[in-house]
A and B are shown apart, each in its own frame.
Chain A
Amino acid sequence: EIVLTQSPGTLSLSPGERATLSCRASQSVSSSYLAWYQQKPGQAPRLLIYGASSRATGIPDRFSGSGSGTDFTLTISRLEPEDFAVYYCQQYGSSLMYTFGQGTKLEIK
């Protein structure tokens, strides 16, 4: 089973700042199989990025994804008030199962 470790656990930033969230896999992951989600309190996760770097429909271009192998990054170029939430990475692995990272909470500083 591939384990995804996200860092930091909590990120405190101000609106307008740049956010960089990390997702590290215990084994190499195909970029095609790596996605990022945003979850706000009381809501279902929302797909942001798929294939490591492709934005989902309707996602603003301030969100971008990058990385390959075992290291992936979600970047939010200029934080808007609505971006403060929990972010999860997710992968599909050779063991025929999907796993999620433990999440990064992005909070207002």
Chain B
Amino acid sequence: QVQLQESGPGLVKPSETLSLTCAVSGYSISSGYYWGWIRQPPGKGLEWIGSIYHSGSTYYNPSLKSRVTISVDTSKNQFSLKLSSVTAADTAVYYCARHVSRRQFDYWGQGTLVTVSS
């Protein structure tokens, strides 16, 4: 069974870089699919951040593109998110998920809350 698990600091200072990792088990990232990040501010809706293929090709939400980097480490079967110059508006639960290109997100991590505060 495919499982995803986010990890990283729960508290980040304003202007710093948010870094999260998603460890995948039960499926090899190298076998295919896209791997994405989605966030949800407290009490609000879902926002797609960006996605990566196992080859390393990426595509990002244009509204976040200038601050986002997503990378993949197939040897560790994990992928990562970096979001720079964070502000309080970046406070959210961050989810990692698997998806078919141009299609649905079928497996999700449990999510991790990241708070931006000094």
Binding site for B on A (CB under 8 A): 1, 32-33, 35, 37, 43-47, 50-51, 56, 88, 90, 92, 95-103
A44 touches B110 (CB 8 A): yes
B45 touches A88 (CB 8 A): yes
Question: What are 25 A-B residue pairs whose CB atoms fall within 8 Å in the complex?
Answer: A1-B62, A32-B102, A35-B103, A35-B105, A43-B110, A44-B97, A46-B108, A47-B105, A50-B103, A50-B106, A51-B103, A51-B104, A88-B46, A90-B104, A90-B105, A92-B102, A96-B59, A97-B48, A97-B61, A98-B48, A100-B45, A100-B46, A100-B48, A103-B45, A103-B46
List B contacts of A35 (CB < 8 A): 103-105
List A contacts of B73 (CB < 8 A): none
Chain B 52-66, CB-CB to A under 8 Å as 1, else 0, gives 000000010110000
Known: A98-B48, A99-B48, A102-B45. A45 touches B105 (CB 8 A): yes
**Residues of B30-63 whose CB lies within 8 A of A:** 36, 45-48, 51, 59, 61-62
List A contacts of B106 (CB < 8 A): 47, 50, 56
A45 touches B46 (CB 8 A): yes
Q: How many A-B residue pairs have CB under 8 A?
A: 56
CA distance A32 to B104 in the complex (A): 9
Is B95 engaged at the interface, CB distance under 8 Å to the other chain?
A: yes
Is B109 engaged at the interface, CB distance under 8 Å to the other chain?
A: yes
Chain B 102-118, CB-CB to A under 8 Å as 1, else 0, gives 11111011110000000
Shortest Cβ distance from residue B108 to the other chain A in the assembled complex, whole angstroms: 4
List B contacts of A32 (CB < 8 A): 102-103
A44 touches B104 (CB 8 A): no
Chain B residue at minimum C-beta to C-beta distance from A86: B45
List A contacts of B105 (CB < 8 A): 35, 37, 45, 47, 90
